[in-house]
Amino acid sequence: MILDNIVPFGRSKAEYELMFALTESDRQKTIIGIGDGPASFNAEMTAAGYQVTSIDPIYQFTGAEIKSRFDACVDGIIEQVIKSPSNWIWKYHKSPADLQANREKAIALFLEDYEQGKSASRYLKAELPRLDFADQQFQLALCSHFLFLYSAHLSLEFHLDSIRELCRIAEEVRIFPILTLAQERSPYLDTVRESLAKDGITSEIIQVAYELQRGGNQMIIFKNYRTYGKSTN
Ligand SMILES: C[S@@+](CC[C@H](N)C(=O)[O-])C[C@H]1O[C@@H](n2cnc3c(N)ncnc32)[C@H](O)[C@@H]1O
């Protein structure tokens, strides 16, 4: 993986809670964050006594390397946001400057926790579409701003393999948003849902109380009713 190709922008626990409509009972589950990057979700959840494992290929890099990549992209991204005012809803973040401040706060919290979290195996270098976890090891998998968002860069095949893999390792999988970077509904959505339904994986689209990309206020939940590694006797 080349760090220059990725945008290490991370969201906070409060944003994850809104994007994924997390209830107190959800927070108490064993959670895996997929492509968590420099989000502060894991750090904040751990500090609050919950159990989160995060995987991301960028965890092969040091905190200093991740921060320097963030510093190299942040101004350019905020400039793009300012130049496309009709694409954004200023509800949770009050303005482009507030968005930048919130992203800086998230990466700062992540970096404070990163070394300790790595030692505790809470930040693991791993990447979709294959993950080295046992069947149904987690109760809940959360994937924010990776699958569906990068539909222009990642194939339909990649999405199908990845979501099947997530349904293998977790009882329930939530993905947000279902829009692409071009603010359109992912062209893969219907095919993925139809194809996975044939494997016994159900899906449901839910409206949530978080919207930054205009129209990006829905998450999708996948659930697999097959039994994994369990005796059928
Ligand atoms: C836009 S960031 C989102 C970070 C975080 N989920 C959030 O919403 O705050 C996308 C993340 O996906 C990660 N990523 C890239 N390829 C991946 C893969 N094959 N499997 C899992 N994560 C990947 C990137 O390294 C990056 O950290």
CA-closest candidate to residue 96, choices 111, 76, 110, 114: 76
Residue nearest to atom 22 of ligand 1 (CA): 35
Residue nearest to atom 14 of ligand 1 (CA): 35
Residue nearest to atom 6 of ligand 1 (CA): 36
List C-alpha distances in Å: 231 to 170, 197, 227, 228: 18, 23, 8, 9
CA-closest candidate to residue 171, choices 98, 119, 220, 227: 227
Mean local confidence (pLDDT), 8-12: 94
Ligand 1, pocket-test mutation among 16, 42, 56, most atoms within 8 A of CB: 56
Cα 30 to Cα 141: distance, rounded to the nearest angstrom: 9
Superfamily classification of domain 127-143+152-228: Vaccinia Virus protein VP39 (3.40.50.150)
User: Is the Cα torsion angle 166, 99, 77, 179 positive or negative in sign?
Assistant: positive
Strand, helix or coil for residue 61 = coil
User: Is the Cα torsion angle 136, 137, 138, 143 positive or negative in sign?
Assistant: negative
**Tens-place pLDDT, residues 56-74:** 999 999 999 999 999 999 9
Residue nearest to atom 8 of ligand 1 (CA): 144
Nearest 5 degrees, angle CA 151-CA 154-CA 157? Answer: 105
Q: Which residue pairs from 71-80 have beta carbons closer than 8 angstroms and sit at least 24 positions apart in sequence?
A: 73/7, 73/8, 73/9, 74/9, 74/100, 74/103, 74/104, 77/7, 77/9
Angle between helices 96-119 and 63-83 (to 10 degrees): 160
**Tens-place pLDDT, residues 146-194:** 999 999 999 999 999 999 999 999 999 999 999 999 999 999 999 999 9
Q: How confident is the model at residue 227 (pLDDT cuts 50, 70, 90)?
A: low
CA-closest candidate to residue 92, choices 217, 183, 185: 217
Length, in residues, of the chain: 233
Q: How many Å lie between the centroid of ligand 1 and the Cα of residue 9?
A: 9
Which residues have C-beta atoms less than 6 Å from ligand 1?
6-11, 34-37, 39, 56-58, 127-128, 144-146
Cα 103 to Cα 105: distance, rounded to the nearest angstrom: 5
Q: How many Å lie between the centroid of ligand 1 and the Cα of residue 233?
A: 40
Q: Return the minimum-mean-pLDDT range out of 44-58, 98-112, 214-228.
A: 214-228
**Domain regions of the chain by residue span:** 57-125, 127-143+152-228
